[in-house]
Copies of this chain bind each other. A is one copy, B any other.
Amino acid sequence: MSAPALPARPQAGTPPSGLARWLPILGWAPRYDRPAFGADLLAAVIVTLMLIPQSLAYAQLAGLPPQVGLYASIAPLVVYAIFGGSHALSVGPVAVVSLMTAAAIGSLGLADEAARLQAALTLAFVSGVMLTVMGVLRLGFLTSFLSHPVVSGFITASSLLIALSQLKHLLGIRAQGDTLPELLSGLVANVHDTNVPTLLLGAGVVAFLYWVRKRLKPLLLRAGLSARAADTCAKAGPVVAVLGTTALMWAFRLDELGVRKVGDIPAGLPPLTLPSLDPGLLSQLLLPALLISIIGFVESVSVAKTFAAKRRRRIEPDQELVGLGASNLAAAFTGGYPVTGGFSRSVVNFDAGAATPAAGAFTAVGIAVASITLTPMLHFLPQATLAATIVVAILTLVDIDTLRTTWRYSRADFLAVATTLLTTLLAGVEAGVSAGVALTLLTLLWHASRPHMAVVGRVPGTEHYRNIERHRVETHPSLIGLRVDEGLNFMNARQVEDRILALVTAQPAVRNVVLLCSAVNDIDASALETLESIVHRLGDMGVRLHLSEVKGPVMDRLRRSDLPGALGGQVFLSHHEAVTALTAGESAPPSP
């Protein structure tokens, strides 16, 4: 299998406009040709083989029947091919979102499987609506408040929870739980029920998958295969494990020894389904759907950017919101559950040479064929095999090293990683993401309320004014020059006020305060009002406020307000001019 030639960079640099802005398919479909078709088809075959066990496994992780995983890998892929902007992203069930789905549905306390299915597709519906609306309103920037430390801590903790949640399948016992303490106590309480054949089978699959992952590729390379072919073979491990253990189970009737099988999977295409519009259910799903949307989007867009860069393309985050939103709506109406772009499957898709999003649509056809024809054969598939594929795949996401590197780099960021990680482990995924987001917002507010400010003095013999804490400069006892290095807004203006009042109360001789505005790009209405209150309060102290080096656009705007009239002081073109005019006749001692 040779690497297909990359298509020439189409429309690089020309951002899509008009309808193609919202329907990226209009950008590539008109130029779709035979070589691209061949490349996409090949990629689709390989991804399909990988997706079948993955879809079944992730549905099991989400606590849903296996066919739901297949259904979630059909319509959403077709829809993403139409609305999605990435040429390599493969959309479908992924591990972390499946875990979050399990937690969201578990917290509803539904005993009935039909009700759980309905809740799962309603969750996809709510998430799809949220993502689409955010995309259309261009609110993609909102997801920035999920910082890297939070995402990193969350992914590591979720991966550990996922691996732990699969242990019961590997031991053949029953246990429940969404958090580390619950999972551990469930395992400890039931470990005496361990089914030895299940344990042997599960351990065997784990060992096999590790061997495939770590050792097979070097062997194949030495046997003369190309690096790409060796890689693809190594990725086929789970398929081999599924086929092999299904055959074992069938041949030796391991299920009669207590090894649990997947059982009957209804054959056929996905059903048409409708999400529930029960207000009670919808309101309970709002928060989980929001968290799933954000986590799913942040992960997906990062994967998409990685592959886009490899072909010198770019990803429009707001368009990705629409693409993922539409995919989730498709999942909701075809019996699926929340989906997003997955990393491992996208790697396979890209490496296999997918040239356009059509590869995803072809993969959907492959999965559809499988769900019609292969499902009877999956009856004897052991649950332990699926659990083993999840465990081996997920443990690569555990990144404890981040704790060490962030500790070294920044204690504040370390705190964010550690808080998110521990909260997720101890209190579950929703609490973990919420704590991380809350911490991030708090940090943001803290920073936003702390503008850079410096009291400035004159560099002797020049007209330059510099921070008195860093330079040897001259100051006057009757004048304070304060440089503010940021636009003034509702978050930081009060801090400027507090700083000025503190400076003036500490220096009784002060008669003039000059605000050096060279770096002030904007003054909002709150800051304007704060400036007016500074003027009044300084006035009460017998001190006047002046401005210097106000930028043109800022000055234009100030002229539309009452400030120039209320100022009392003057607006100087240069700070030096201000200091000279206001301290005429005084001597200028150097600052201590």
Question: Residues on A close to B: CB < 8 A?
Answer: 9, 12-13, 15, 141-142, 144-149, 302, 305-306, 308-310, 312-314, 317, 405-406, 408-410, 412-413, 416, 440-442, 444-450, 452, 489-492, 494-495, 497-498, 501-502, 504-508, 521, 524-526, 528-530, 533, 536-538, 540-541, 557, 560-562
Question: What separation, in Å, do the CA atoms of A450 and B448 have in the docked complex?
Answer: 13
Does B560 lie within 8 Å of A521, measured CB to CB?
no
Does B12 lie within 8 Å of A490, measured CB to CB?
no
Does A141 lie within 8 Å of B446, measured CB to CB?
yes
Q: Is the interface of A mostly helix, strand, loop or mixed?
A: helix
Given that A312-B541, A409-B525, A533-B306 are contacting pairs, would A144 and B501 also be in contact in the complex, using a CB cutoff of 8 Å? no
Contact partners of A491 in chain B: CB under 8 A = 144-145, 444
> In the complex, which of the residues B141, B498, B533, B536 contacts A445, with contact meaning CB atoms closer than 8 Å?
B141
Does A448 lie within 8 Å of B444, measured CB to CB?
yes
Given that A310-B540, A312-B504, A444-B491 are contacting pairs, would A524 and B410 also be in contact in the complex, using a CB cutoff of 8 Å? yes
Question: What separation, in Å, do the CA atoms of A141 and B448 have in the docked complex?
Answer: 9
Contact partners of A408 in chain B: CB under 8 A = 560-561
Q: Could you tell me the distance in whole angstroms from the C-beta of A211 to the nearest C-beta in chain B?
A: 30
Q: Could you tell me the distance in whole angstroms from the C-beta of A418 to the nearest C-beta in chain B?
A: 12
Given that A147-B490, A305-B501, A449-B144 are contacting pairs, would A506 and B444 also be in contact in the complex, using a CB cutoff of 8 Å? no
Contact partners of A490 in chain B: CB under 8 A = 144-149, 440
Does A309 lie within 8 Å of B526, measured CB to CB?
no
Of chain B, the residue at the smallest CB distance from A492 is B144
Question: What separation, in Å, do the CA atoms of A452 and B528 have in the docked complex?
Answer: 21
Does A13 lie within 8 Å of B507, measured CB to CB?
yes
Does B449 lie within 8 Å of A508, measured CB to CB?
no
Does A12 lie within 8 Å of B305, measured CB to CB?
no
Contact partners of A524 in chain B: CB under 8 A = 147, 410, 412-413
Q: List 12 A-B contacts (CB under 8 A).
A: A141-B446, A142-B445, A144-B449, A147-B524, A149-B525, A302-B533, A308-B501, A408-B561, A410-B557, A441-B441, A444-B445, A448-B448
Does A314 lie within 8 Å of B141, measured CB to CB?
no
Q: A305-B533, A413-B524 are in contact. List 13 more A-B contacts (CB 8 A).
A: A12-B506, A141-B450, A144-B490, A144-B492, A144-B495, A149-B525, A149-B526, A302-B533, A308-B537, A309-B541, A312-B508, A314-B501, A441-B441
> In the complex, which of the residues B141, B498, B508 contacts A12, with contact meaning CB atoms closer than 8 Å?
B508
> In the complex, which of the residues B142, B309, B416, B449 contacts A141, with contact meaning CB atoms closer than 8 Å?
B449
Contact partners of A310 in chain B: CB under 8 A = 537, 540-541
Question: What separation, in Å, do the CA atoms of A406 and B452 have in the docked complex?
Answer: 27
Question: What separation, in Å, do the CA atoms of A502 and B312 have in the docked complex?
Answer: 9
Of chain B, the residue at the smallest CB distance from A508 is B12
Does B444 lie within 8 Å of A444, measured CB to CB?
yes
Contact partners of A530 in chain B: CB under 8 A = 148
Going nearest first, the 9 A-B pairs with the smallest beta carbon separation are: A309-B537, A147-B490, A413-B525, A13-B506, A148-B526, A141-B449, A310-B540, A147-B526, A312-B541
